[in-house]
Amino acid sequence: MIITAAPKREVGSSILLSGNEAVAQGAVEAGVLVAVGYPGTPSTEILESIADRTDIDVRWSPNEKVALDVALGASLGGVRSMATMKHVGLNVAADTFMTTAYTGVGAGLVIVVADDPGMHSSQNEQDTRAYARMGCVPLLEPTNSAEAKAYTALAFEISEQFDTPVLVRTTTRTSHNRGLVELAPRVEHSTIGFTPDPTKYVMIPGHARRRRPVVLERLAQMSQYAEESSLTEEFGTGTDFGVVTSGISHHYVREVIPDARILKLGMSYPLPIERIREFAASVDRLFVVEELDPYVENDLLAAGIAVEGKSLFPQAGELNPDIVRAGFAKAGIVEEGLTIVPAPTTVTRPPLMCPGCPHTPPYLALKRLGAVVTGDIGCYTLAALEPLSSMDTCVAMGSSIGMAIGMAASGGADGPVVATIGDSTFLHGGIAGLADAVYAQANITVLILDNGTTAMTGGQEHPGTGVTLQGTPATPVDLLGMCKAVGVRDIRVVDPYDLAATYGALEDAISHAGPSVVITNRPCVEAPMKVRDTPFKVIADACTACQACMTPGCPSIVWSDELFEGRRKVVIDEVTCTGCTLCVQLCPPHAIVLVTNEEETANV
Amino acid sequence: MSEGSQGLLLAGVGGQGVILASMIVADALMRAGHDVKQSEVHGMAQRGGSVFSHIRWGERVDSPLVPLGSAEVLAAFEWAEAVRWVEYVRDGGAVVADVRTIVPPGACNDHRSWLRRYPGIDGELFDSRHLKTRLIDATATAEELGNVRAANSVILGTVAAFIDIDNKHWEAAIAHLVPKGTEEINLAAFRIGRDVAEARVPQTAPDPEGFSGPHQIEINHVWCKGCDICSRVCPEYCLAVDVDGKLTIIDAEACTGCKLCEALCPDFAIEISAPREPAVVGNQAAADGSTL
């Protein structure tokens, strides 16, 4: 789901756009014809914001590698194309990515990668700039929405000028920040067609060896481009000190020292090293303020330019004006910030599985079964937290199954080994793992939590949903048939809202020797449509305050002010209860009953 | 501070509409001719977690994030979130907070002292900072108007009193961004919000007695046949049937005396009795924070 201002996009007007919407707008204006990606916070809304355009082919791929393959194929086929993903998505696409500099492009190819410093919604905070260097691919870093649009459009030009894919790197603070953007008309770029050239596009060793020097020569040309480009901008006055910035940290520096002398890098690979050397020579002290790794700093040091960076500004986590101020205060450039009175103690509010989430009951069962659970990436990863506390590992998309095979092989697990993976994640990176489970005859159970959507990122379509991003019907992938085809002999499909059946199915699957699969088949309660059934309520007089209903951690159930033998009774929030019946099945004194029609009507 | 830019923070719980409300504020400020930046984080936060949005405006805005201790206004759609984000408000700034509470289940997991880890509602909590605190019951006000979902507009109305832009920009932004068909009710809610009465702070219930030590679990192994019912129902995970089919107590300390196992045992093989020494009476957890 995308929340958008749905502004009338009139050419010449300025509107508030998020960085993601601005990236999409830049691609639209540059005449992109194919835009592909896999959802991942904070990149997801780029494609969603242009899904309604009939003149652009906008699609979700099952994973980022396929997305980049599609975009590269489209580029070679002669149309401007774009691939979007989050930072860890580029790991998945890296195999293709690392050779794209060798093949070059047909029409412009732009790869938008959104980093997540601070790990608001990610498993690590790797710095995409390292990929630019490793892949010999230029990288642009917008600092705000206006630049997100402008740089994306420019990236297509650079791509075609130098025959290279171009990375555009955003971060959470540029992706999810709205700012004013002036709109321009779309410039159509019809297909230039595919020109077969096996020495360029067939990367056998003999061809690749001939392309390698081309890649390096191009890099030198792009360094020259960076030196002369208006992407490198100077701000402020003074000779006491200067600051090299890129991305959002530029604005933090200007916030703290509004008139600071700044050299802002719009292109942070390759670096305009001579421009920076000149800038450094014009100031007494040189700082670099960059989020995450000391990437620019190390390059400057290697080039013999004295600079201060990570000794003042942390490498871990996201920067903000307060942290940047503290760094400059340590350097003696500015005063310390205000002393802040700390906020009073309050309750922690971690993210939770929604009321009625079909992922909850299987984890309740796995906890009772004492399973060692290798988990995966999705909403269900929250099962690792209290009160379910029933997930032992979560590393990368699709890792659960391979890790379960290894865990079982190790013999070190104190309990049955169960891999849990969502439908979208299974299609993204789990299929090969399942094939290996069969191949290895691993004694594991794979629990596929099929809720019919990519829930964690807000409910995106995928090859199993039967609908495309642009709303056209598609043939859904048959998960059950796929498991059979891979060679799994023990497969069960179960309704997760039936706790006893779910427990039984898992218990039986675990007792099966060799690989087994359990598929749960309830849709997500939030997407593609909200599932709301008649809510339940607690009969206070019947409640014995046993807390059995609270073991799933449903957000709709909290303590009431009434006590039973000194313990707190519970109460259900009828507004948020979806009527999934899980608590009813857990309540020994049968104190949870349907809200009657009359009561429901009275509440509306 | 970049050329006098100002800041505002909106905070609430996933699903409350914080993002839409912040887009309305940003749109209103843009209409009033300001440079505006609005920054949020979503993703994990949507799942009932804490959601916040920073808005900055002025002639030229650099950081989209509000520096600590500099916001003009904190608009909190939920009480605990007001407490959480108050550090961002400048001394003498304003806090507009809904008195409705959304207690997370994690605040209800202390099965010993039975104290909710939720901050008590107290407008004087921020007095040392000289904050202008407005406690309102936006939900009740919106309900009176006929649509609970207009509660956010009530809060925005109260917030508007602390931001110096013309009313027409607010109303234009609301009409532009709220779902079609709800413009009138949201505008009405906004107007009421401008001079809504302070809410009465809900009365807090007395805390229970608290934990008096774990109950005693006695298993009659002669009668127990290892059917596993008790261990499956135990909310505190005290019991387990081992590989030999023998019932064992794996966490005696965790027993809260709910007696579910005793009641459901088909063989009358479990007996739960009160703590041997009704010792130190609970409320020790009160030390780790205020309670409701």
> What are the structural domains of chain A?
14-228 (3.40.50.970), 232-330 (3.40.50.920), 360-465+475-520 (3.40.50.970), 536-603 (3.30.70.20)
Reported as a pLDDT band with limits 50, 70 and 90, residue A3 is: very low
Judge: B44–A458 Cβ closer than 8 Å, yes or no: no
- CATH code, domain with B26: 3.40.920.10
**Quick one: B149 and B255 in the same domain?**
no
B47 falls within a domain: yes
B236 falls within a domain: yes
Judge: B41–A144 Cβ closer than 8 Å, yes or no: no
B113 falls within a domain: yes
Angstrom CA distances, B153 to A299, B5, B41, B143, stand at: 51, 24, 21, 12
Residues 6+ apart with CB under 8 A from A568: A545, A559, A560, A562, B108, B114, B208
Reported as a pLDDT band with limits 50, 70 and 90, residue B289 is: very low
Q: What's the whole-number average pLDDT of chain A?
A: 95
Chain A contact present for B138, CB below 8 A = no
Tens digits of residue pLDDT in B173-200? 999 999 999 999 999 999 999 887 777 7
The residues in B 146-185 lying below 8 A from A, measured between CB atoms, are: 176-177
User: What pLDDT was estimated at residue A2?
Assistant: 43
- Of the two residues A292 and B116, the one the predictor is more confident about is A292
**Quick one: B223 and B174 in the same domain?**
no
* Cα–Cα dist B264/B259, whole Å: 9
Mean pLDDT of the A80-89 span: 98
B174 falls within a domain: yes
Reported as a pLDDT band with limits 50, 70 and 90, residue B290 is: very low
Beta bridge partners of A82: A35, A110
Please count the structural domains in chain B: 2
Of B194, B224, B258, the residue at which a domain comes to its end is B194
User: What pLDDT was estimated at residue B284?
Assistant: 45
B284 falls within a domain: no
User: What pLDDT was estimated at residue A602?
Assistant: 53
Least confident range from A19-28, A104-113, B222-231: namely B222-231
Mean pLDDT of the A90-111 span: 98
**SS3 assignment, position A569:** strand
Of B194, B224, B245, the residue at which a domain comes to its end is B194
A600 has pLDDT over 70: no
Nearest Cβ partner for A3 among B19, B84, B109? B19
Side-by-side strand order, sheet with A232-235: A232-235, A262-265, A241-245, A285-289
**Quick one: B222 and B181 in the same domain?**
no
**Quick one: B35 and B127 in the same domain?**
yes
Reported as a pLDDT band with limits 50, 70 and 90, residue A165 is: very high
**Quick one: B178 and B254 in the same domain?**
no
- CATH code, domain with B259: 3.30.70.20
Tens digits of residue pLDDT in A534-545? 999 999 999 999
**Quick one: B159 and B239 in the same domain?**
no
Reported as a pLDDT band with limits 50, 70 and 90, residue B2 is: very low
User: What pLDDT was estimated at residue A309?
Assistant: 97
Residues 6+ apart with CB under 8 A from A161: none
**Quick one: B228 and B261 in the same domain?**
yes
Residue B242's domain spans which residues?
A: 216-274
Of B141, B160, B194, the residue at which a domain comes to its end is B194
Reported as a pLDDT band with limits 50, 70 and 90, residue B114 is: confident
Q: How far is CA A252 from the centre of its chain?
A: 24
Chain A contact present for B142, CB below 8 A = no
Tens digits of residue pLDDT in A456-500? 998 999 999 999 999 999 999 999 999 999 999 999 999 999 999
* Cα–Cα dist A391/A289, whole Å: 38
Angstrom CA distances, B188 to A586, B16, B139, stand at: 44, 19, 14
Least confident range from A306-320, A340-354, B168-182: namely A340-354
Q: What's the whole-number average pLDDT of chain B?
A: 86
Provide the percentage of residues in chain B whose pLDDT is more than 70.
Answer: 89
User: What pLDDT was estimated at residue A566?
Assistant: 85
- Helix, strand, coil percentages in chain B from 3-state DSSP, rounded to 5: 35, 20, 45
Tens digits of residue pLDDT in A549-588? 999 999 999 999 899 988 899 999 998 999 999 999 999 8
Nearest Cβ partner for A550 among B45, B47, B235? B235
Chain A residues inside the 8 Å CB shell of B23:
3, 5, 16, 178
A162 has pLDDT over 90: yes
Judge: A348–B14 Cβ closer than 8 Å, yes or no: no
Phi, psi torsion values for A217, nearest 5 degrees: -65, -40
Mean pLDDT of the A438-451 span: 98
**Quick one: B81 and B188 in the same domain?**
yes
**Quick one: B120 and B230 in the same domain?**
no
Reported as a pLDDT band with limits 50, 70 and 90, residue B119 is: confident
Judge: A352–B119 Cβ closer than 8 Å, yes or no: no
Reported as a pLDDT band with limits 50, 70 and 90, residue B287 is: very low
**Quick one: B53 and B164 in the same domain?**
yes
Query: Where is A280: in which H helix or E strand?
Result: helix A273-281
Nearest Cβ partner for B69 among A178, A252, A338? A338
Number of other CB atoms surrounding residue B182 within 10 Å: 16
B102 falls within a domain: yes
**Quick one: B142 and B240 in the same domain?**
no
B116 falls within a domain: yes
Torsion (CA) B183, B188, B192, B193 in degrees, nearest 10: 0
**Quick one: B121 and B259 in the same domain?**
no
Chain A contact present for B26, CB below 8 A = yes
B290 falls within a domain: no
